Amino acid sequence: MQKDLTVGMYSLLVTSQGADNDQFDEYDESATSLHGTSDRRRLTFMRTMTLYFSLLINALFLCVIFYLHGQVSDHGLHIYSPAQTVLRPVRRKFSHLLDTNIYMESPSDEVDQAWRDLYNFGISRIPRAQASLMFNKSVPIPGDEENYIISLDVWHQIHCLNMIRQALYPDRYGAMNSTLFLVDLRAPQEMNFEEPLAKVPFDHVAHCINSIRESLICSADITPNVWYWDERVQRSIPSFDVVHECRDFGALKEWALERQLDGEFDTTVHIVH
């Protein structure tokens, strides 16, 4: 009798434990199901965020590309210049209509020197590697064939402006008469090197006027000049003392001074390169 009771209690315990285990199994399956759903949602969220982030990065990249393309379009074809490494934009306010400076004064030794100081260092010496990158080719320097001779056009334009200034004062600088050059104006394939060169007139001032004209058209400053109302005269007056975006002239001058060609350049020596 006692044995049956024990067996009955054991059976009840086993049955009870089995029921509990079934409940635990149901709980575990439910928990696993909830956990899996949460993981899937988290994975979907991460994938969505990754996609959005990738699209954002690509959009920013395209914006940069279009911006840089616009910069190239705005600033021209980017013909290489060895001085381009020092280029940086600066803001410069131009002179007022009634302002004066030494470059506007009547001729004197001081004025002449001020003008020469703007460009008399302009013949430069650059290495072959830089010369090879230029669109317009130059020649090696005799006795220094690993370096080439160039001059930034800005120095030529200032020289030309000074030449025109001097032409306004023949009493001091003399008449800017035409000179004769030995040149052949025909195309190279039409030249006959057995014939003597013809002497043709060269008007330096006329050349300089045209050269400055071409330079101004080439650079084409698009800074807007403005008008302002003057109460004293009761009318709108143009203002030319506006701020321009310029190239750093001081940096270009320093670049040229550091590369100034010392000594004479022998133009009679032809170096095959």
**Domain residues of the chain, as ranges?**
76-175+203-257
Lowest mean pLDDT among 222-226, 256-260, 263-267: 263-267
Give the Å distances, CA to CA, from 37 to 27, 29, 50, 51, 63. Answer: 15, 12, 20, 21, 39
Mean of per-residue pLDDT scores for the chain:
82
Between CA 137 and CA 151 the distance in angstroms is 12
Return the bridge partners of 92, or none: 244
> What one-letter code names the amino acid at 131?
A
- The structure's pTM equals 0.68
Q: What does the DSSP 8-state code read for residue 260?
A: B
Query: For the packed helices 153-167 and 204-219, what is the interaxial angle rounded to 10 degrees?
Result: 130
At which residue do the structure tokens 């698009």 appear? 222
What does the CA dihedral 231, 237, 238, 240 come to, rounded to 10 degrees?
-50
What proportion of the chain, given as a percentage, has pLDDT over 70?
A: 73
